Amino acid sequence: MAEHVTSGDVHSIRARHEFRGVRTAEHYFTVPLVHAPEVDSDTPETITVFAREYSSTEHTAEEAGRLPWLLFLQGGPGGRGNRVTSLSGWMKAAAKDFRILMLDQRGTGLSTPIERQSLELQGDANAQADYLTHFRADSIVADAEFIRGVLDSGPWTVLGQSFGGFCALTYLSFAPEGLREVLITGGLAPLEGSAERVYRATFRRVAARNAEYFSWYPEDRELVTRIARHLEKHAEFLASGERLTPERFQMVGSFLGGNTRVDSLHYLLEDAFIDTPSGERLSEAFLEQVRALVSRAANPLYAVLHESIYGQGEATNWAAWRVLEEYPEFKPGAEEPLLTGEMVYPWYFEQDPSLAPLREVAELLAARKDWKPLYDTERLAANTIPVAAAVYKDDIYVDHDLSLETAAAVRGLQPWVTSDFHHDGIGEDGEGIFGRLFAMVRPAR
């Protein structure tokens, strides 16, 4: 079923659908590029922000329309909202009590998406870099508050996964009046300190996860080194045409951040080599799987803005690349090179064709010193909004120790520390994790 509806210049619902127990509505909002009273213009620049509403058909349409909102903030930066075809996991649990608003954060999905082609509309590299400063957590939160007002919602519930949790902390800092309660999974950002501090912690976590993985699959230790040495000596090309280098191959370590995905790394590696008339080469099946892991074509914002999520008043200046010097075991030429995590390096913008046009923009952002604060530590210390956060003890992306430091700095924040899940825990047992966190913020429910 599809119903097309238009409702004004600021907000429109363009379609409604119903399928497999799900009822959806597609919301488009026109929001200011810059949410600031000092913008002096009769016609301020605007962008489109898209959000898809999900509710369960276990409620009638009328009942669903009376349910309170739960806003989901996705991981990233640069990750669009989930597209689902049925309610399962945390969404199944949440839909019992809420209408879910699945936000495409500005610059992602259908929210004035940013790619190298669209950025060219802004002008030269300096203009593009200036434009991108309006796509961090503070602007995402301002969008959410604008949308809440348009929807005429009271304070709503927010669930933030990973970077979405960072955004939730920004929300608590600058617009707590818009929040009834906050749930965070794998996303307690450090409130203070440099980006280098973050990467020193996460490099250690990734090294430990490598050791754990190779203890399960000892044959893969030799195989990873063998692939890296092969790539040093032989030119292997992805189907998209670019060369697979040893350092790009190391990016398959993204599997290490998962619960069940970690074992999928073994299945990827076992596809690596094939015999050919010219000798042993990397198989096309392997190269195609790797291409999907190492390309940022689908989410360039992740690479361009990644370090800026830790930028507060000082330049990040390729922090991960500089900290790498302290961890030589991650260098591709190491005797037994380790697989890497989510760190972003300047060579991404040389070796990935989708990022190469953004190299100058990325350099400008790395050197930028005037990043606005993303958190108000005094306000967080006086927080009155119920907050519960899942902190994963062995998370390689959001460090456990830094997370607990943040938890202690936010008044009333209840951490649930667990070693049962890794960074993608919400995808592993979303229903259970949501239920536990929700009970922590509403114990009398």
Known active-site residue 138: no
Known active-site residue 370: yes
Distance, in Å, from the CA atom of 50 to the CA atom of 27, rounded to the nearest integer, reads: 6
Distance, in Å, from the CA atom of 337 to the CA atom of 197, rounded to the nearest integer, reads: 23
Distance, in Å, from the CA atom of 357 to the CA atom of 116, rounded to the nearest integer, reads: 7
Contact 169, 188 (CB under 8 A): yes
Q: Token pair of 221, please? A: 């230790």
Distance, in Å, from the CA atom of 430 to the CA atom of 93, rounded to the nearest integer, reads: 8
Strand partners, 184: 160, 389
Distance, in Å, from the CA atom of 199 to the CA atom of 61, rounded to the nearest integer, reads: 47
Nearest to 99 by CA among 73, 74, 67, 63: 67
Catalytic residue among 40, 42, 275, 370: 370
Catalytic residue among 138, 403, 423, 424: 423
Contact 208, 445 (CB under 8 A): no
Upper half-sphere CA count for residue 171 (Cβ side, 13 Å)? 34
CA-based max dimension of the chain: 70
Catalytic residue among 139, 162, 194, 254: 162
Strand partners, 360: none
Distance, in Å, from the CA atom of 207 to the CA atom of 399, rounded to the nearest integer, reads: 13
Nearest to 344 by CA among 326, 327, 324: 324
Question: What residue type is 372 in one-letter code?
Answer: K
Known active-site residue 423: yes
Three-state DSSP state, 288: helix
Contact 158, 73 (CB under 8 A): yes
Angle at 351 between CA 349 and CA 353, to 5 degrees: 80
Distance, in Å, from the CA atom of 118 to the CA atom of 217, rounded to the nearest integer, reads: 44
Catalogue the active-site residues.
162, 370, 423
